[in-house]
Amino acid sequence: MMTTKRLAIGSLFLVGVSCVDGARGPQQLQLVDGGSAGSGERASLLPIGELGAAGGPRVDWARRFGGSGADLVWNAASDGSGNAYLVGRFESPSLELGGSPLLGSGAGDIFFGSFDGSGQHRWSMSFGGGAADNGRAVAARGPSVYIAGDVSSASVNFGGGGLPGLEKADIFVAGFSAAGKYKWAKRLAGDTYELASAIAFDGGGNLYLTGCFTSKQIDFGGGPVASAGPNNVFVASYSPEGVYRWARHFGAGYPSCGVAIAVDGSGNLYAAGHYTESITMGGVKHASRGKHDLWIASFTTTSALRWARSHGGPEGDAVSMLTAINDEIYLAGTFGGSATFGGATIASAGGADIVVARYASGGDHVWSRAIGGPGDDFVGAVAAERGNLALTGAFREALSFAGTTLASRGGADVLVASLSPDGSPRWALGLGGSGDDGGAGIAAGAPGQLFVAGSFRGEVDLGHGALASAGGDDAFLLRLTAP
């Protein structure tokens, strides 16, 4: 069965990262310069309050939701009206996000919901059919919101009737109105396993997906295409109405996948992921320097490959997310040991560390930074926020960033941080409890506001006192005001 590289924090999984847990002593994270060039559990809403030093980020409210099983947020997005959207997977018999309970099969169903800027539930829905189904990506634009992921159930109904498959992991993509009304859905099935990891859109509303497949052939909508290797990464595009536009795929070793995608203001498309052994793009074979490296490529919005690069080192390296700011691309991921991301070699302080890198539209390296300590630390998502870069993920023990020292409350804690366009640290916030907690999605809301989503286990402090999970892992959504 095909899997993507993931970091396990309790039962919290994040695409693009793979780390091993273990007993550690006291840890300190630092910034390193890489050079330039059962029954549903009712959601809990916490009141407005402040957290941190004067002038720092302030948590405005926090929401938790979960049942007796493992309930995980995979991604988050926001629209121009200040609403937040979540997508993920729940294994509880039922899940309540604030509306009617969402009933699950127990094998893992998709949840999809929206909240307004004050944290109030707008609408929510679920999809599944008895097997493992995952909502991995969400993107919102004006009156529309789109989700993507993989489904293994024999049939899944997103609102327009059941979409049948071979009961193996198939790609899905679906479109809805901002009010949650069904528009269209597609299921893309091959003979083995396929998944979509990320979704983005351009200024005209066209959609772009990336992910991977192991099938001998697959039809993205333009007719069957043959596999180009043991594993294949792909980029595909559809109109706002779900009409096929184009698709590209590239052969790579196993496991490999596309996990991040973004479009800049000039209409250039960027995708990134990780690969094992080698990947061939544009007739050029990129060989891995170690266990697995990361790839990043740019396309025109009509499918032409502009450029492709590979980066990494002798250990495992992976991408978590991309975002575009002022026609430049920002990449965030995880690496181990030492690695090169286009500039000077940067070294991990131990275990897996976070890397953030900025590239010009033509692929030239601008800067790269490492953030990490002796343990395993990761970034789950990034977002553009008033020209700055905001990120969320997790850290262990302690973290020093932007003149602030954050102390873990035990296990892994949620990290939210901001960097300026030149890579300088701006501020950081740590949230958590005695269990393993992590941020998986981040999105800019109204100016100066950020939505952060993730999952936690046990008891957690999200800025307004203790919250306890209903069993297993619970999901959270919070909004903070950034300085």
**Domain at 165, CATH number:** 2.130.10.10
Average pLDDT over residues 52-81: 87
Whether residue 221 has pLDDT greater than 80: yes
Whether residue 330 has pLDDT greater than 90: yes
Average pLDDT over residues 325-334: 94
Average pLDDT over residues 445-459: 94
Whether residue 95 has pLDDT greater than 80: yes
Which pTM value belongs to this model? 0.90
Direct distance between the N- and C-terminal alpha carbons of the chain, in angstroms, rounded to an integer? 45
Task: Tokens for 277, please give them.
Answer: 């052994």
Query: What is the spatial distance between Cα 302 and Cα 311, in angstroms, rounded to a whole number?
Result: 26
75 within domain boundaries: yes
21 within domain boundaries: no
| Residue 53 per-residue DSSP state | S
Model confidence band, residue 327 (pLDDT cutoffs 50, 70, 90)? very high
Whether residue 5 has pLDDT greater than 60: no
47 within domain boundaries: yes
Model confidence band, residue 35 (pLDDT cutoffs 50, 70, 90)? low
Strand partners, 234: 211, 249
If one counts every other C-beta atom within 10 angstroms of the C-beta of residue 466, the result is 10
Output the pLDDT for position 9.
35
- Rounded-to-10 torsion of CA 330, 333, 338, 339: -50
Share of the chain above pLDDT 70, in %: 88
pLDDT one-digit tens code per residue, 404-433: 778 888 889 999 999 999 999 999 999 999
Model confidence band, residue 350 (pLDDT cutoffs 50, 70, 90)? confident
320 closest CA partner among 107, 19, 85: 19
Output the pLDDT for position 55.
67
The count of structural domains within the chain is 1
Greater confidence, 44 or 174? 174
Output the pLDDT for position 34.
58
25 within domain boundaries: no
Query: What is the spatial distance between Cα 235 and Cα 269, in angstroms, rounded to a whole number?
Result: 10
- Residue 333 and residue 355 in contact, taking contact as beta carbons nearer than 8 Å: yes
Greater confidence, 138 or 373? 138
Average pLDDT over residues 64-79: 94
Q: If you search the block for the tokens 């009509």, which residue do you land on? A: 302
4 within domain boundaries: no
Query: What is the spatial distance between Cα 409 and Cα 131, in angstroms, rounded to a whole number?
Result: 36
Whether residue 264 has pLDDT greater than 60: yes
| Phi, psi at 194, each rounded to 5° | -145, 150
Model confidence band, residue 349 (pLDDT cutoffs 50, 70, 90)? confident
6 within domain boundaries: no
Domain extent for 312: 32-481
Share of the chain above pLDDT 90, in %: 70
- Least confident window among 179-188, 393-402, 439-448: 393-402
Average pLDDT over residues 308-327: 91
Task: Tokens for 481, please give them.
Answer: 């005001």
386 within domain boundaries: yes
Whether residue 359 has pLDDT greater than 90: yes
Q: If you search the block for the tokens 């396309």, which residue do you land on? A: 299
Output the pLDDT for position 452.
97
Output the pLDDT for position 197.
97
Task: Tokens for 171, please give them.
Answer: 């790609």
Task: Tokens for 273, please give them.
Answer: 């992921």
3 within domain boundaries: no
Average pLDDT over residues 34-54: 41
Average pLDDT over residues 439-467: 91
Greater confidence, 113 or 375? 113
Average pLDDT over residues 261-269: 96
Average pLDDT over residues 266-270: 96
Whether residue 333 has pLDDT greater than 90: yes
Average pLDDT over residues 456-482: 88
Average pLDDT, the chain: 87
- Least confident window among 163-167, 262-266, 356-360, 371-375: 371-375
Whether residue 11 has pLDDT greater than 70: no
Whether residue 85 has pLDDT greater than 90: yes
Strand partners, 371: 31, 354
Task: Tokens for 174, please give them.
Answer: 């679906």
Output the pLDDT for position 39.
36
437 closest CA partner among 418, 458, 468, 416: 458
Greater confidence, 448 or 22? 448
Q: Are strands 144-151 and 155-157 parallel, antiparallel or unpaired?
A: unpaired
Amino acid type, 196: A
Average pLDDT over residues 131-157: 96
Amino acid type, 422: D
Q: If you search the block for the tokens 């025109």, which residue do you land on? A: 300
